[in-house]
Amino acid sequence: MNIGYGIGAVVVVSVATLTIGTWGLRFSRTTSDFFVASRSVRPGLNAGAISGEYLSGASFLGVGALVLAFGGEMLWYPVGWTAGYLVLLVFVAAPLRRSGAYTLPDFAEARLASQRVRSLSSVLVVVIGWLYLLPQFQGAGTALRTVTGMSPWGGSLVVAAVVLANVLAGGMRSITFVQVFQYWLKLTALLVPLAFLVIVWLSDGGRSPAAADLVVDGLNGTDWANPLAIAGDHPLYTTYSLMLATFAGTMGLPHVVVRYYTNRDGRAARKTTLIVLVLLGLFYVLPPVYGALGRLYAPDLVGSGADNVVLELPQRMIGGVGGDLLTALLTAGAFAAFLATSSGLTIAVAGVLSQDVTSRRLDGVAAFRVAAVIAVLVPLAASFAARDVAVATVVGLAFAMAAATFAPLLVLGIWWRGLTAAGAASGMLVGGALTGFAVVDNLVSDRDAGWWASLIAQPAAWAVPTSVAVMVLVSRFTRPPSSSHVNRFLVRLHTPEGVALDRT
């Protein structure tokens, strides 16, 4: 393909992102603006921003690639990534907003009145944030190499630089506008090319990619379409463990939670989540179709570069200038996906770092800016050093870790009076250690068969219940903090804003 189109798309998205970011800067002046957009973001905008930030490269490029290579089994990922917001809605959305805390460590400290739990939460936010940022930078490098011929580290560097410029310029407020823009860009960038591809497919006779006699890479269509057959020896365990990780993990992702403080009140937080479910549903029906078409038009990619199937289809099916233009649009969407998620994570990690580390020496905005630089540089350096791992694998592990640490903290902290600081800390330590072990084992060794491999690849099913059990048991055996503090806090979490409570 013509490399000029790919470079053009990247430049346009970068310039648009920075322009909207700078435009937002006019409104963004105080530390409070930087952090939470002064809590004045409407639900429609906020939902767009949450979706824009949430839909990462793993969703934009990864789902299509996984569906092409592994088939029906991979459809559970987008379903789980969406359903996580329903669980977040019913347990966390409104109370979290009413807690008045900004970050997860803020919540932990406010609920449990413990500096230690706060520090532990800060460490976990940074670990989960970096675990999630690392594959974003790597994936961006790979994708940019495909369409622009840039070296992989060049692509990572470009994403990191644009993210940093944007975050430094405007903080959260300008990020809101940027991410709303990026959601709609991502949706358009998948939808428009897909419309053309489907027309071509229909005019070619509309053959089913799941036809039993269609064998690709030794796999017939029926087996490929089977939602339980291929990955691992224990598909039922793997699927349910993945479900638990994604359903519970979403609420514990630092870059998602941080956006809830920008809602006006608890009701707005619920409305935002409902709109997020609609926006994610609209988006997630699209990527699997690319994977399915890839089975017909790009079967040679299965063994090698399935990662590129979304970007390559327009040229294979349409070709010429039209194909190049559609690929440029897809490149723009993919680049927006990497940018949006990286920006959100950078804000979240920088928010925690600046509150707990850099603000000891610097004040307000300067502390946040220094923290943002640190938040980007560490995973960027790690992405140069680490070996190439699949984006979806590392993202999946980040979900499992969030599900085994912050999810129990939030749910028990919001709904159970009996949670104590010691209980929360031990539960998060155990959950973090178990999933952390799984992360390291996954990154270091390559197992493919047996129960052990399945257990390590999808740790949520055993790590999450263990963490919850430890939290409950230790809480039972330790003395709760002053019960009047807990009561007051729970009352504040669950009482609608219309009631004139003393909310200090």
Partner 1 sequence: MDAEPPPRVRVTGPHTERTRRGPRPSVASEIDAQSDLGAIYVSGLLRAQMRLALRTLLGLGLTIGILPLVFHLAPGLGKHHLLGMPVPWVVLAFACYPVLVLLAWRYVRAAERHEAEFVAVVERPGVERW
Stretch of 49-57, 279-287, 342-350, 453-461 lying at the interface with partner 1 (CB under 8 A): 279-287
**Which CB sits closer to partner 1, 133 or 276?**
276
Does residue 205 belong to the site contacting partner 1 (CB under 8 A)?
Answer: no
Tell me how far the alpha carbon of residue 455 is from its chain's centroid.
23
Nearest-angstrom CA–CA distance, 290 and 61: 9
For every residue of 268-293, DSSP letters joined together read: HHHHHHHHHHHHHHHHHTSHHHHHHH
CB of 253: closest distance to partner 1 in angstroms?
A: 18
Could you tell me the smallest distance in angstroms from the CB atom of residue 255 to partner 1?
Answer: 21
Give the three-state DSSP class for 216. Answer: strand
- Provide, rounded to whole angstroms, the least separation between the CB of residue 48 and partner 1: 16
Number of residues that bind partner 1 (CB under 8 A): 55
Cα separations in angstroms, 383 against 132, 134, 157, 212, 396: 11, 6, 10, 41, 17
**Contact 368/170 with Cβ under 8 angstroms?**
no
Q: How far is the CB of 163 from partner 1 (least distance, A)?
A: 29
Per rule CB under 8 A, is residue 271 in the interface with partner 1? Answer: yes
Classify 219 as helix, strand or coil.
strand
Q: Are 101 and 261 in contact (CB under 8 A)?
A: yes
**Contact flag: residue 450 with partner 1 (CB under 8 A):** no
- Residues 369-398 close enough to bind partner 1 by CB under 8 A: none
Alpha-helix residue ranges (DSSP H) falling in 204-214: none
273, 327, 358, 467: which one contacts partner 1 (CB under 8 A)?
A: 273
Residues 327, 8 contacting (CB under 8 angstroms): no
Three-state SS annotation for 453-478: HHHHHCCHHHHHHHHHHHHHHHHHHC
- Closer to partner 1 by Cβ: residue 319 or 496: 496
Comparing CB distances to partner 1, the nearer of 440 and 491 is 491
| Options 281-289, 297-305, 422-430, 442-450: segment touching partner 1 (CB under 8 A) | 281-289
Site for partner 1 in 230-269 (CB under 8 A): 235-236, 239-240, 243, 247, 267
**Cβ-based burial of 255 (10 A; exposed 0-12, middle 13-18, buried ≥19):** buried
Interacting residue with partner 1 among 49, 61, 89, 194 (CB under 8 A): 89
Distance of closest approach, residue 239 Cβ to partner 1, in angstroms: 4
Residue ranges binding partner 1 (CB under 8 A): 72, 75-76, 79, 82-83, 85-87, 89-91, 94, 206, 208, 210, 222, 225-228, 235-236, 239-240, 243, 247, 267, 270-271, 273-274, 277-278, 280-282, 284-285, 288-289, 415, 484, 487-488, 490-491, 494-496, 498-502
